[in-house]
Structures are given as structure tokens and as C-alpha cells.
């Protein structure tokens, strides 16, 4: 207890935020990269089945891991301030009841509703995967309850350890089962079902970790309660008369009233979070049927869906980086908004949009130009390289959607980004129906570019209305366009030179040659891009020095090379 008192609260919050941010990055990275061995071992048919089922699974998991832990942590923190263990137990019981019912409902939907869902999508291949994904929903909601509890006590390590353990076990078990079932020569739907069995194993492992932390915490709380009772018994009469009033104040909300209060807080957050996987759900519902309308059978449609999803993990790495870094702007913008510093808000907005716009644009251009060698390097063949190149162009608007949503949240507009993603999902549905029948999976990629572009445009338009448009002269506006264009052009030239050089050399067409071409193209392109960004002042010395792990020696070296103004 002494350590908790002496440690400043802001320090604990920053440490907790850092721990959760690191855990989020690790889990997202594992979740993204695990799709590469999934395709390599299982093939495009298994990959297609997995990526068709995954959005349904994620919709329910999002409900369990977005709004409710935040709600639980809020209610636990309030009762922690009041010093009410009974109040915290009441919140925990009510949360456990809610999440248990949600988990059972999700399990029933996926397991017993698998035939109906697969029929609605238009592929009987999905039934084993849907049913094998269902058991995870019996574990993960309960983990979310305990995570919310510990976060309410400002203890972030249990959540971080549980998240990383869950994802690690999920990926390891998935790969083991993939190797086992493919070794037996099982059908694609059976192999995909085995891959989803890893989710149940990961969910169980994450819950076990939380139960271990809970058990240790319970013993500590019991010792503290005994010490507190001893101190009360030895205290004066005024202390004894003050305690019942304090304890009673922590019991103002019970039963139905507590349930309604928690739901009122959690549901808006959950609905906003559900908008994120909605575009993936559009593809899950529309692509199989639309591809079958082109004359392919059920299994071949799943193969094409798998080929289409080859580029998705690469784009997700960019959006994951944007998501992890964009949260840094939320507290700063909130503080500026409360101070009424409109000019400061505009500077933060310009910096964030410039950084992430450049990251997204560079990623889109690089992935598009290196689509074929990257495809061979990661997935063994060049099938769908043209589609992968088009999917690469969702990285730029995707990064802008992420950072602009964070900026709007910092300004107090929490629901608007979710509504804009709903509009984007509706546009994706319409364009899929229009473009997939004549163009196949390339049509779906083009629809994705338009959908994310629309969401980014809506977010940026709202930002401009709320913060005011920057006033620039014609020359300044032209410079704002020419400098990023010069950086992207330099990178594109470097990548094209690598591609031409690789084509002229007798490297062969295997994965090692593709690996060399991809890494050289990425390395040279990124180096030239960074050099032009620094030389043209797109990234200032002050902004660069504010980044973590940028030493004064590096700054001095960049100045000697005349790369930094």
C-alpha cells in the first residue's frame, strides 16, 4: 500500500498506458502476421474460408473487448475511491452475468446457427470453421470482465499479460493443427475449422492468466481487509460511526439499476467499435455469392476469396501502426480543446495528418510497385498480384481514417467516425455488387479503395469544419503538394530501378529471389523517401527530436549530411 501512495498517479497512468500500448501492438502484430503461415500451410482455399468466417467472430469479440471492459473499469474505479469492496463485488457479479449471457449468445449464434449463416453467405464450406470458432466465446468475455476490473484499479499488467498470452497460444495452436490436418490430407473446410480451434485454446489460456492474477489479488485484499478491521476495532468511536455512512454510499446502485447504468455507458462504445470490422463483414457476405455468379463453384469461390485476402494483412500492418500511434494525439487535443486553443488544435491536426498521410502514401506506393515479388515472397506464387497492388492503395486512406478518427475523438466527436464508416460500408456493398461480377476480386479491391476514401473524406471534412481551414497563399499551397509528391516520386523511382535490375539479372523466380528484390526495394525506397522528407522540411527538426529513441548524435549526423534543416 505504501508504494501505491508514494507513486504519483500520473506516473502510474503513463506506465499503465505504455504497458497496454505495447501489449496491443504485440497482439495486433501476431494477429496480422499469423495469416501468412495460415495461407502457406493451408493454401488459398483454407485462407478464403478463414477470412470469410473471421469477421463474424470479430464482431462478437469486439462486443466483449471494447465497451464492456471500459465500463467495468469505470464502475470499479468509482467504488475503489469510496473504499467499498462490496460495491466492487457487485459490479463484478453484474458484469460476469452480462458477459456470460453475451458469450452464451455468441456461442449459440456461431455453433447452432452455422448452417443458416453459411447458407446466407452462399458457401457450405464455412460450417466447420463457424462451429470451431464458437467455443472461444465462452472464455473471452469472462477474461474481459477481469481485465476491466484490474484496469479500474489502475493495474494494467494483468490485462497486457493476458492479451499477449491469448494471442500467442492462439497462433501456436493454430499452426500445430494446420500442420496436423494438412499432413492427414484433410479437406479445406476441416483444416480451416482446425485453425479456428486455436481461438478457443487462446481464449482459455487468457482466462487462466486472469484467474491467476485474480487469485493473487484476492489473497492480498483479504489480508488488507483483516488489517483494516483490526485498525477499526482499535480506533476511536468517531471513526466507527463514520464507517457505516461511507460504506452505505457505495451501495447506491444495485441490481437492475446497476445493470441499466452499465449498459447505458457500454452500448454506445460497443456500437462505435463495431463499425470498424463492418467493411470486412461486407466482403464476407457479398464476395462468395458474387464470385459464384461468375460461374465458379463453391470451393473455387473460397480460393479466390483467399487470394483476395493476401494483401489485407500488409495493409493492416500500416493501419495498426497508425492506430497505435494516433492515440498519442487524443489527450493533447482534449487539453487544447478545454483551453480553447484553436491555433494549437490546428497545429496538432496538421502535424498528425502530415505524418500519417505520408506513412500511408508511402506504404501504398511501395506495396503497389512491389506487389508481385512481395506476393511470391510471402505466399509462394504470384496469383492475384494485380489485386494485391490495388488493395495496397487502401493503406493511404486507411491511415487517414484512423488518425482523423483519433483527432475527432480528441475534439469530442466520438460517434461521427463510426457513422462515416457505416456510410463507407454501404458504399462498399453497392460497389461490390457493381464491380465484382465483371472484374472479380479486383472489383472488390477497387470498391475498398472507394469506401475507405469516402470515410477519410468525411472525417477530414468534419475536422475542417470544427477546427477551421488553414489560410495559405497559392505558393504555400503548391509547396504543400509538391514536397510530398517529390518524396513519393523519389521512392517510386528507387523501387522501379530495383525491379528493373532484378528483371535483368539471372536471379530466377523463386522465393529467395523475391525476398531479395522485396527487401532491397523496400530498403532503398524507404531510405530515399526519408531523405527527401527530411531535406524538404516535411518533418522538422523539432518533430524528429520529439520521436522516441532519436538521439542527439543522429540529429547531428543528419545535419552534417544536410538532410535536416
Residue 430 pLDDT:
96
Residue 58 pLDDT:
82
- Residue 153, classed as helix, strand or coil, is coil
Q: Which of 367, 372, 380 is nearest to 511 (CA)?
A: 380
Q: Which of 330, 327, 269, 251 is nearest to 75 (CA)?
A: 251
Residue 538 phi/psi, 5-degree rounding, is -65, -30
Rounded to whole angstroms, the Cα distance separating 425 from 348 reads 29
Residue 452 pLDDT:
93
Residue 536 pLDDT:
78
Residue 1 pLDDT:
41
Rounded to whole angstroms, the Cα distance separating 324 from 533 reads 22
Residue 222 pLDDT:
63
Q: CA dihedral defined by 364, 365, 369, 373, rounded to 10 degrees?
A: -40
Residue 551 pLDDT:
58
Residue 169 pLDDT:
93
Q: Which of 131, 141, 140 is nearest to 194 (CA)?
A: 131
Place of cell 475511491: 81
Residue 3 pLDDT:
42
Cα distances (Å, whole numbers) of residue 545 to 275, 350, 534, 556:
36, 18, 12, 11
Residue 429 phi/psi, 5-degree rounding, is -60, -45
Rounded to whole angstroms, the Cα distance separating 153 from 92 reads 13
- Residue 275, classed as helix, strand or coil, is coil
Rounded to whole angstroms, the Cα distance separating 436 from 428 reads 11
Residue 266 pLDDT:
75
Place of cell 487539453: 335
Per-residue pLDDT tens, the chain, 565 aa: give them: 444 444 444 445 555 556 666 777 777 778 777 888 888 898 899 999 998 888 888 887 877 666 677 778 777 877 776 666 777 788 888 888 888 888 898 899 889 999 998 888 888 889 999 999 999 999 998 988 888 888 777 777 888 888 889 999 999 999 999 999 999 999 999 999 988 999 999 999 999 999 999 888 777 666 666 566 556 556 555 444 444 444 444 444 566 777 787 777 777 667 666 666 788 889 988 999 999 988 888 888 899 999 998 888 888 888 777 766 665 565 566 667 767 777 777 777 777 788 788 888 999 999 999 999 999 998 888 899 999 999 999 999 988 888 888 788 777 777 788 889 889 999 999 999 999 999 999 999 999 999 999 999 999 999 888 876 655 545 555 666 777 888 889 899 999 998 888 776 666 667 888 888 899 999 998 888 888 888 877 776 666 655 545 556 766 777 776 666 6
Residue 205 pLDDT:
94
Which runs of consecutive H residues, i.e. helices, occur in 327-468? 329-339, 342-369, 371-379, 385-392, 395-410, 416-439, 441-467
Instruction: Indicate the pTM of the whole model.
Output: 0.75
* 359 CB neighbour count, 10 Å cutoff: 19
Residue 480 pLDDT:
65
Residue 319 pLDDT:
78
Which runs of consecutive H residues, i.e. helices, occur in 43-156? 44-65, 67-82, 85-111, 114-121, 127-133, 140-152
Amino acid at each position: 500500500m505504501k508504494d501505491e501512495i508514494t507513486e504519483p498517479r500520473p506516473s502510474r497512468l503513463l506506465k499503465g498506458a505504455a504497458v497496454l500500448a505495447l501489449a496491443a501492438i504485440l497482439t495486433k502484430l501476431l494477429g496480422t502476421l499469423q495469416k501468412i503461415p495460415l495461407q502457406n500451410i493451408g493454401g488459398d482455399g483454407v485462407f478464403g474460408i478463414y477470412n470469410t468466417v473471421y469477421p463474424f467472430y470479430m464482431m462478437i469479440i469486439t462486443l466483449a473487448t471494447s465497451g464492456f471492459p471500459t465500463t467495468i473499469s469505470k464502475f470499479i474505479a468509482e467504488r475503489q475511491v469510496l473504499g467499498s469492496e462490496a460495491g466492487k463485488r457487485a459490479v463484478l457479479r453484474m458484469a460476469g452475468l452480462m458477459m456470460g449471457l453475451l458469450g452464451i449468445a455468441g456461442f449459440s449464434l456461431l455453433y447452432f446457427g452455422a448452417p443458416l449463416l453459411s447458407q446466407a453467405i452462399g458457401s457450405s464450406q464455412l460450417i466447420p470453421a463457424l462451429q470451431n470458432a464458437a467455443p472461444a466465446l465462452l472464455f473471452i468475455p469472462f477474461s474481459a470482465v477481469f481485465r476491466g476490473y484490474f484496469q479500474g484499479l489502475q493495474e494494467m499488467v494483468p490485462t497486457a499479460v493476458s492479451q499477449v498470452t491469448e494471442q500467442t497460444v492462439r497462433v501456436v495452436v493454430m499452426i500445430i493443427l494446420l500442420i496436423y490436418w494438412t499432413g492427414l490430407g484433410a479437406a479445406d473446410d476441416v483444416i480451416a475449422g482446425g485453425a479456428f480451434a486455436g481461438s478457443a485454446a487462446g481464449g482459455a489460456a487468457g482466462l487462466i492468466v486472469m484467474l491467476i492474477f485474480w487469485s493473487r489479488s484476492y489473497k492480498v485484499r483479504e489480508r488488507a481487509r483483516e488489517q483494516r478491521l483490526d485498525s477499526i476495532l482499535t480506533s476511536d468511536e468517531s471513526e466507527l460511526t463514520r464507517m457505516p455512512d461511507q460504506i452505505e454510499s457505495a451501495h447506491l446502485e444495485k441490481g437492475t439499476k446497476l445493470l441499466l447504468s452499465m449498459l447505458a455507458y457500454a452500448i454506445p462504445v460497443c456500437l462505435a467499435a463495431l463499425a470498424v470490422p463492418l467493411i470486412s463483414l461486407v466482403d464476407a457476405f457479398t464476395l462468395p455469392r458474387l464470385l459464384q455468379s461468375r460461374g465458379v463453384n463453391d470451393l473455387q469461390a473460397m480460393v479466390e476469396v483467399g487470394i483476395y485476402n493476401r494483401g489485407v494483412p500488409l495493409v493492416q500492418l500500416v493501419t495498426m501502426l497508425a492506430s497505435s500511434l494516433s492515440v498519442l494525439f487524443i489527450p493533447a487535443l482534449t487539453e487544447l480543446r478545454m483551453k480553447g486553443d484553436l491555433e494549437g488544435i490546428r497545429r496538432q491536426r496538421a502535424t498528425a495528418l502530415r505524418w500519417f498521410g505520408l506513412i500511408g502514401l508511402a506504404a501504398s506506393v511501395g506495396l503497389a510497385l512491389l506487389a508481385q515479388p512481395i506476393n511470391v515472397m510471402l505466399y509462394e506464387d504470384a496469383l492475384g498480384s494485380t489485386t494485391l497492388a490495388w488493395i495496397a492503395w487502401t493503406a493511404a486512406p486507411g491511415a487517414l481514417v484512423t488518425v482523423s478518427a483519433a483527432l475527432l475523438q480528441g475534439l469530442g466527436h466520438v460517434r461521427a467516425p463510426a457513422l462515416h464508416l457505416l456510410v463507407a460500408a454501404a458504399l462498399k456493398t453497392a460497389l461490390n455488387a457493381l464491380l465484382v461480377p465483371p472484374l472479380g476480386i479486383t472489383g472488390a479491391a477497387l470498391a475498398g479503395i472507394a469506401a475507405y476514401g469516402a470515410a477519410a473524406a468525411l472525417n477530414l471534412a468534419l475536422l475542417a469544419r470544427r477546427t477551421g481551414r488553414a489560410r495559405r497563399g497559392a505558393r504555400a499551397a503548391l509547396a504543400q503538394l509538391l514536397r510530398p509528391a517529390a518524396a513519393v516520386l523519389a521512392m517510386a523511382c528507387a523501387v522501379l530501378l530495383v525491379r528493373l535490375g532484378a528483371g535483368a539479372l539471372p536471379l530466377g523466380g523463386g522465393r529467395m529471389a523475391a525476398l531479395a528484390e522485396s527487401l532491397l526495394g523496400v530498403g532503398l525506397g524507404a531510405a530515399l523517401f526519408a531523405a527527401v522528407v527530411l531535406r524538404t522540411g516535411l518533418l522538422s527538426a523539432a518533430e524528429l527530436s520529439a520521436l522516441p529513441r532519436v538521439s542527439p548524435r543522429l540529429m547531428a549526423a543528419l545535419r552534417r549530411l544536410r538532410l535536416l534543416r
